[in-house]
Amino acid sequence: MSTATPSAGAAESALPQAANPKHNSYQSPLTSRYASPEMAYNFSDMKKFSTWRKLWIALAKSEKALGLEDISDEAIAQMEANVYNIDFEVAAKEEKKRRHDVMAHVHTFGVAAPAAAGIIHLGATSCFVGDGFELISIRDGFEIIIPKLASCIQKLALFADKYKDLPTLGFTHFQPAQLTTVGKRACLWIQDLLMDLRNWRRTRADLKFRGCKGTTGTQASFLTLFDGDHDKVEKLDKMVTELAGFEDAYAVTGQTYPRKVDFDVLSVLASFGASAHKIATDIRLLANLKELEEPFEKDQIGSSAMAYKRNPMRSERVCSLSRHLTALMFNPAFTAATQWLERTLDDSANRRISIPEAFLTADIVLSLLQNIFGGMVVYPKVIERRINQELPFMATENLIMAIVKKGGDRQEAHEKIRVLSHEAAQQVKELGLENDLIERVKKDSYFEPIWADLDKLLDPSTFTGRAKEQVVSFLAGPVKEALEPFEAQLAKVREEDVNV
C-alpha cells in the first residue's frame, strides 16, 4: 500500500480528514496552545466585529445629536439590540461577493437592524471601523499586559528581597568575577522590566483615536453632511472619540491613523522581548551551573531519553517566543516607511498578523515569567561550593594586606602568594582537583601571623560590597514607586497565590 504524501495541489477531499474539523487546518500555536483567554478574545472576530458595530452606533448617535434628522431612535435602538447578534455566515457570503469586509458587515448589520440599514457607516470610510478597532485592541491589549508585567516585577522583587544577602559568584564574559548576591542579580532583571513597564505605560498614555476623518483625512464627507458647518464636524470627531473611550484623537491623519504608531507600539513590546530573553537566558545558564532552577513539576519529564534531566523548558520557551516578539518589530517599521501619500493598502495583510501576534506573544511570555518567578529554587550549597573554588584567588589581595598589617613586606608577600596561587591553579586546571590555595597558605609558616584570621578574611559576605544595601534601597525606592499604581491588583494576586 502506498504511503506517499499527496501533492500540495491535491483536492482537500483526497487528504486524510480528522473527525474534528479544527484538526484539518493550521492553528496558530499562539492561540491554540499558549494565549490567555482574555488576550485571545481581544483579537477575536467577535471582539472585532462587535466593536465595529459599537463604533457605527457611536457615529449614528453623535450625528443624530448634532442634527441629522434621517437617523431615527428606532434605528439606533435596533443597532444597540444587535451588537453581538452577528451572523458570521451571512457576512462571509457577502464578503466573498463584494470583496470588501467592511461593506459585507455593513450589509450584515443592516439585515439585523433594518431600520438602520440606510444610515450605518454614514459619511465614514472603511478605516473608521478598521483603524478604530485596531486602536481599541491595542489599548485593551496594554490594559491586559501592563498589570501582568507589574505582577512579574512584584514576584521577582520578593525573590530579590529573600536572597538579598546570599553571596554568589559574579560573572563577566561568563568567567568568574567578583562576588555579588543572588538578590542583587535579580535586581538587574527587575531594572530592565521597570524600563519596560515605563515604556508600556507611556505608549498606552500617548495612544489616541483616529476619529472621524473621512477618506483622505480632510473630513470632506462629514462637512457635506453638516452643510459646511465646521464646528459640527469638529464636535462629531470629539464626541465619537470620547464614546470610543479615548481622551483625544490624532489632530491630522491621511486615510489611516499614522502607521508610525504601530512602530512605537511594537517597539516597546519588542524591547520587552529582549528583556525577557536576557532573563530567561541567565536562568538557563544558572540551571546548568545547578545554582538555580525554574519550577519543576513532580511528574514533569525533562527528556524522553535521559530520565535524570531537568531541562529549563519554561525559560527555553520564553527565549523562543521572545525572539519572535523582537523580530515582529520590523514589520511596522517597514510598513510605516512605505506608506504612500495619504495611504496604501499594502499595510493591511501585514498588520493583521504583526499587531495581534505581538500582543499575544508578549502576553504568553508574561504568563511564563509569572510562573517562573513565583517558583524559582535556589541551591545555596552549590553556590557556596563554587564560591569556595574561586574565592581563594580573589582573596589574595586581602591576604597580602593582612600580612602587611602584621609587619610583613608587601613585595615578599605578593611573591609568596603568587607562587602558591599558581600551584593551586595547576591542581584545578591540569589535575581537575579542588582549589587548595588556602590549605597551602595554612602550611606555609610565612603566613602564620594571619592563620587565625583566615576565616574572617575569606567570609564571602565581605566580598559583596554594597550588594545587600543596593537591593534594599532599590526595592524600597524605584520598585515600590513603580508598583504603587497597581497595589489593589497586586494584593488580589497575592491573595490568589496564597489560596492555590
C-alpha 369/C-alpha 280 separation (Å) is: 8
C-alpha 430/C-alpha 244 separation (Å) is: 71
Query: How far is the first Cα of the chain from the last one, in angstroms, to the nearest whole number?
Result: 54
Helix (H, G, I), strand (E, B) or coil at 365: helix
Cα 238 from chain centroid (whole Å) = 32
The type of residue at 228 is G
Quickly list H helices, 328-379.
Answer: 330-337, 348-373
Phi and psi at 379, nearest 5°, equal -115, 90
* Nearest to 255, CA basis, from 120, 122, 106, 131: 131
Give the single-character DSSP code of 209: B
Indicate if 173 belongs to the active site.
Answer: yes
Chain position carrying cell 476619529: 211
Quickly list H helices, 229-259.
Answer: 230-243
Which residues have a Cβ under 8 Å from the Cβ of 152 and sit 6 or more positions away?
193, 366, 369, 370, 373
CA distances from 320 to 242, 277, 364, 368, 445 (A): 40, 8, 11, 12, 56
- What is the number of alpha carbons within 13 Å of residue 1 lying toward its C-beta? 1
For 141, other C-beta atoms within 10 Å of its C-beta total 25
For 474, other C-beta atoms within 10 Å of its C-beta total 21
Helix (H, G, I), strand (E, B) or coil at 215: coil
C-alpha 63/C-alpha 225 separation (Å) is: 9
Residues pairing with 181 in the sheet: 167
* Nearest to 63, CA basis, from 75, 52, 81, 51: 75
Indicate if 303 belongs to the active site.
Answer: yes
- What is the number of alpha carbons within 13 Å of residue 47 lying toward its C-beta? 18
User: Which residue among 303, 320, 461, 473 is the active-site one?
Assistant: 303
User: Which residue among 2, 13, 173, 304 is the active-site one?
Assistant: 173
C-beta separation of 162 from 376 below 8 A? no
Planar angle of CA 158, 323, 145, nearest 5 degrees: 50
Helix (H, G, I), strand (E, B) or coil at 199: helix
Task: Report DSSP letters for 53-86, one per residue.
Answer: HHHHHHHHHHHHHTT-TTS-HHHHHHHHHTSS--
C-beta separation of 379 from 422 below 8 A? no
Strands (E), 312-449: 377-378
Active site residues: 173, 303
